[in-house]
Amino acid sequence: MARRPPISSKLFSFGPGCWHHWCWLLGLFALGGCIKVLSPVRSYEHYTLPPAPDYSRPESWSALPTLKDSADAVPRHSGLRDQQATAAADVFFVHMTTRVTPYGWNASITNPLINRLTDQFSVRPQASVFNAAARVYAPRYRQATLYSFFDSTANSHQALALAYSDVRAAFIYFLQHYNHNRPIILAGHSQGTYHAQRLLREFFDQDSSLRKRLVAAYLVGLKVTPQVLPYSAALRRFAADGLLP
């Protein structure tokens, strides 16, 4: 797979809401030790859960090869092209955390600001790198808020479990309706990697035919080692090939 040149920031166009959101976050972390202010005010059970996604509906996906979306982007003047229409493989991409505010433990997939952040900051610069070699599928899901990764209570466990239940449902729909036994690339970043690890364990480790179709797993933004996945046949395969430290 050809390596793409760096993507210029000039490629991106962010509305005022996006910049306000991220400047607020950067300022917060500059203070140091202030992560507690991101904690939802109430416990998990006191919030009404956002509606579950329906993955038969295109709006439940940030990227589909049949839609014009952020995963179609290529760097300007690079000579590269989006070749999803003729690609021989599929990539299932799980995006990073783009919900940082303390208003509930899980995000709605219909929140326009969160969707814009997901599309612009995760799918466009990350998932799009695969579009010359694979069809890109990136589900929206009721992601856990950022504070979940700094909290050890039942609240964060429940929030992450709900998020994974959506990723799992999206992956099942992808296998049943889109993939048609094609080679699969599994990719994720940050929270996406957290959930993709479970996909490896619960799907690829349990199904040898599915495991044979796994081309690669690009799981970044969160440490993944054989100790993290001690029983993962898929991970052992990559370790045997010298692809893990």
Tens-digit pLDDT profile for residues 200-233: 989 998 899 999 999 999 999 988 776 556 556 6
Supply the pLDDT for residue 63.
Answer: 99
Give the pLDDT of residue 238.
58
How far is 142 from 240, CA to CA, in rounded Å? 35
- pTM for the model: 0.83
Distance separating alpha carbons of residues 90 and 174, to the nearest angstrom? 10
Q: Which residues of the chain have pLDDT under 70?
A: 1-34, 226-245
**What integer pLDDT is reported at residue 6 of this predicted model?**
35
pLDDT at 17: 41
C-alpha distances in angstroms, 145 versus 156, 187, 215, 232? 9, 20, 31, 27
Tokens of 91: 């990539």
Query: Amino acid identity, residue 25?
Result: L
Q: Which H/E stretch holds residue 115?
A: helix 112-118
| Cβ-Cβ contacts under 8 Å for 191 (sequence gap 6 or more) | 94, 95, 96, 97, 143, 144, 149, 160, 163, 222
| Residue reference for tokens 């939802």 | 40
**DSSP 8-state assignment for residue 64:** -
Looking at residue 33, its pLDDT comes to 58
Residue 224 vs residues 18, 138, 214, 238, 245: alpha-carbon distances, Å: 30, 21, 17, 12, 10
